[in-house]
Amino acid sequence: MPRKRPSSRGSARGHAAPKKLSRSLPTRKRLSPSAWIAVITTGVVIGSSLTAYAAYVDITGGINRENVNTDAFGDRPSKVEGVVNIMIVGSDKRDGANAEYGDAEGERPDTLAIAHISPKKKSATIVNLPRDSIVQLPACKQKGDEYPGSDAQQGMINSAMSYGGVDCQWDTVEKLTDIRIDHFVSVDFTGFKGMVDALGGVEMCIPQKIHDPKAGGLELDAGKQTLNGEDALGYVRSRKGQGDGSDLMRIGRQQEFMASMVRKVLSGDTLKSPSNLYAFLNEVTGSITTDDELTVDTMADIAIAMREVDLNDVNFVTVPNHPWEQNNNRVAWDEPDAQQLFQAIATDEYGGEKDKASSDDSGDDAKDVKPGDVSVEVLNGTGMTNLATQVSGILSERGFGVSGTGNPQGIVPEASTIYHGPDGKAAAELLAKEVTNATLQEDSSLSGNSLRLVMSRDWNGFKTAGATGDVPDTVKSKSAASKPSAC
């Protein structure tokens, strides 16, 4: 059945935060968004080698796990077959080995991002959701004594964690982006430093001398150099000591660090030496928390998918944004640009080389087929009244020809299906870009660009007009293969 979209994303504005959160916080030493993502991305990329070592089970056994009740979220975005979306959380909790980074009550993510892994496109896209984003937060239920819950309200996106823990943050991200989240991963400060040291440091080109007392007393000379864990931690969270001091400019520098870190893992000795790999993974697993459904087998599946991903197809983007009109230290998302990006991610239309999404035998004809060249017979197998008529009208508006409507004869396929003839695959792929979910199947009774669309009970409608993977120019992408300017 089609998913019912929530009628509201929260409308009660100006709601006061619970008293527990109304406090004066000390200056925080924050690990930056891209630094957290470097930890997760690198761990996932190298995971393809995990099963080669007997230490695999011992290492993964050190991961902390947390139960997340996604059934309580209500209506959720649709799941895209094969795709894995991971919510990345950089927790700012200060306890245990992280106590040296200051005292802070409660928990708000320093970082929030979505890692979108697409085996079909052989790509991975990491979308930064700036922690200072002002959004409409949904209501959160109280969770034990630690999380007080809250009504729907306007606030910073990372406040959801303070109100209702990971459950609330997960639900908030899904409702704001309409992207189905499959898992979450959280990393701490100590793990980041340990990973960098386990790699033997990460080489960076520092354009000018850095002196930043607020980043742990960071002192770096200009030029090419290898940063150890402590210096790397200072570098990725340094803001006032570099450039214009803005958080957005810092994100750009951090993405360069992240790319260098991933390149070192893939090109160095980490994957070649069991001892090096074991040391590196010990730092990863000892400092992360995941949902309890991110099992060893699931990690292995993700690792296998990532093994096929080229560095050029590991990309990092930040949600298009602008200073919030009521406070320039906060940001608001650019619309409709942000939603167009989210939709492209949600439907697996963004990332990778577009031709990779099609099979090798699709040839160059796909780009030459236009909607006006295609004729579609629309058959309604959902049991919903007048759906075929409605769909045929939308197809006509989008330039497709409609040869007829009706109900399918015989057995209705479990999944909505676009049938095409031996020479009609390019036309079927063009139609598939318009609908939210449909599989392709060859039918020798069809010829040319004549298609048959059979809508089954999983039918979920059309994508927004024009949303075929193209996103606005305001969405800037940076590849893991890109290198910073030479010193």
Sequential DSSP letters for 12-47: --SPPPPGGG-S-PPP--PPPHHHHHHHHHHHHHHG
Same-domain status, 337 and 411: no
Q: Do residue 262 and residue 130 come from a single domain? A: yes
Q: Cα(453)–Cα(456) distance, rounded to whole angstroms?
A: 10
Of 304, 329, 351, which closes a domain? Answer: 351
pLDDT of residue 474: 76
What is the token pair recorded at 352?
Answer: 């990778």
SS3 140: strand
**How far is Cα 423 from Cα 365, in angstroms, rounded to an integer?**
10
Residues 388, 415: one domain? yes
Q: Tell whether 287 and 169 lie within a shared domain.
A: yes
Q: Are residue 164 and residue 305 in the same domain, yes or no? A: yes
- Is residue 280 a part of any domain in this protein? yes
- Position 475 in a domain: no
pLDDT at 101: 39
| Token digits of residue 389 | 């008529």
Domain termination site, one of 351, 384, 413: 351
Please tell me whether residues 74 and 138 are part of one structural domain.
yes
DSSP 7: S
Query: Are 173 and 211 in the same domain?
Result: yes
Domain tally, the chain: 2
**Structural domain span for residue 409:** 360-455
Contact 116, 183 (CB under 8 A): no
Domain check: are 180 and 314 in the same one? yes
CATH number at 228 reads 3.40.630.190
Q: Could you tell me if residue 13 is inside a domain?
A: no
Q: Looking at residue 228, what is its pLDDT?
A: 93
Report yes or no on 407 lying in a domain. yes
**309 and 366 part of one domain:** no
- Are 185 and 246 in the same domain? yes
Identify whether 10 is part of a domain. Answer: no
Give the CATH number of the domain where residue 441 resides. Answer: 3.30.70.2390
Q: Which helix (H) or strand (E) holds 154?
A: strand 153-156
Residues 224 and 174 in one domain: yes
> What's residue 388's pLDDT?
92
Cα(305)–Cα(353) distance, rounded to whole angstroms?
A: 16
From first to last of its 487 residues, what are the pLDDT tens digits of the chain? 444 333 333 333 333 333 333 333 233 333 443 444 444 555 444 444 444 444 455 666 667 888 999 999 999 999 998 899 999 887 655 444 444 434 444 456 777 889 999 888 888 888 989 888 999 999 999 888 889 999 999 999 999 999 999 999 999 999 999 999 999 988 766 777 877 887 889 888 888 888 888 777 889 998 899 999 889 888 887 776 676 666 667 767 777 787 788 777 766 666 566 666 666 766 667 677 889 888 767 776 776 666 667 777 888 888 999 999 999 888 999 988 899 899 999 999 887 654 333 333 444 444 578 898 999 999 999 988 889 998 998 898 888 999 999 999 889 999 999 999 999 999 999 999 888 888 999 999 999 999 999 999 989 888 755 444 567 777 877 777 766 655 6
**Do 33 and 79 belong together in one domain?**
yes
Whether 432 is in a domain gets the answer yes
Task: Look at residues 173, 305, 192, 235 and name the one whose alpha carbon lies nearest to residue 484.
Answer: 235
Distance in angstroms (rounded) separating the CA atoms of residues 151 and 166: 16
Within a domain: 469:
no
| Threshold 0.85, pTM exceeds | no
Last residue of a domain, one of 351, 371, 391: 351
- Asked if residues 46 and 269 have their Cβ atoms less than 8 Å apart, the reply is no
* Integer Cα distance of 386 and 270 in angstroms: 59
The DSSP line for 45-86 is HHGGGGGGSTTHHHHHTT-EEE---GGGG-S-PPPPTT-EEE
Domain membership flag for residue 36: yes
